[in-house]
Amino acid sequence: MNLSTMSYRVADGVAHLRLDRPEGANALNVDFSKDIREVMIAVEHDPTVKSVAVTAEGKVFCAGGDLKEFASLGDGLPAIASGLVTDVHAAIYRMNRVPKPFVAGVRGAAGGAGLSFMCAFDLVVAGESAKFTVGYTKVAMTPDGTSTYFLARHVGLRRAMELTLTNRVLSAQEALDWGLVNMVVPDEDVDSTATSLAESLAAGASRSFGIAKRLIYEGYESSLEEAGEREAQEIVKAMATVDGREGISAFASRREPQYRGE
């Protein structure tokens, strides 16, 4: 892949995606949108990838849309933005449906589209000085990046409305208390903690993690009966897998399981 705004590599079952435009606060622009879509296609179709760790260079995880670049586009902005949003949303759709857990490590700040992007991850590690804000209405925009789908699911409808309409800035501890992130660690430990978490997922029963991820997202949208039926089908399938048989055998034998992701 020929990426200009991020780097990507795969090692030991983990795809390491690192946002790499620190001079622009890792903000979303046209190049970013093309890069992230290409990366998500690669993740989806690479069977060696069992989990994904997403971190960022510089002091800011992602400052949202690149408003300076947008301002330079003049009357051509709407047409260009349409393509940008289409690519970013396509990437997020893939990220959500692919049966592989995504872990984000957020240092500095996640704002606007950066917050929307973060909301789509399955697990989020935040630095203790990190800040979070929606920010769209502050510049007379409306939410995008699928935040209207994910944000309320994480923090509740009232809080999502408050964040969107008032542009309140949340501290890392507030984000943890509200359910927006999973854990808060010292800033210098963000990257290593997110990476370690992704590595542990890749080394574990990765097929089970992927199916569990899909069941949770689909179950949130389903009736009780629909969710229950999917669960019944998948747990029976799991019992026939290599990892499923190993997990049960290891538990019964009181030993550590040796999973293969199969």
Closest CA to 109 of 54, 172, 196, 192: 172
Q: Are residues 178 and 246 in the same domain?
A: no
Q: Are residues 153 and 140 in the same domain?
A: yes
pTM, full prediction: 0.92
Q: Are residues 81 and 124 in the same domain?
A: yes
Q: What's the pLDDT tens digit per position in 63-87?
A: 989 888 898 989 989 999 999 999 9
Structural domains in the chain (count): 2
Closest CA to 110 of 181, 53, 17: 181
What is the mean pLDDT of the segment spanning 128-140?
94
Is the pLDDT score of 261 beyond 90?
A: no
Cβ atoms < 10 Å from Cβ of 109 = 24
One-character DSSP codes across 145-210 = TTHHHHHHHHH-HHHHHHHHHH-PPEEHHHHHHHTS-SEEE-GGGHHHHHHHHHHHHHHS-HHHHH
Q: What's the pLDDT tens digit per position in 28-41?
A: 999 999 999 999 99
Q: Are residues 211 and 166 in the same domain?
A: no
Where does a domain end: 184, 203, 222? 203
Q: What's the pLDDT tens digit per position in 168-220?
A: 999 999 999 999 999 999 999 999 999 999 999 999 999 999 999 999 999 98
Q: Answer whether 153's CB lies under 8 Å from 220's CB.
A: yes
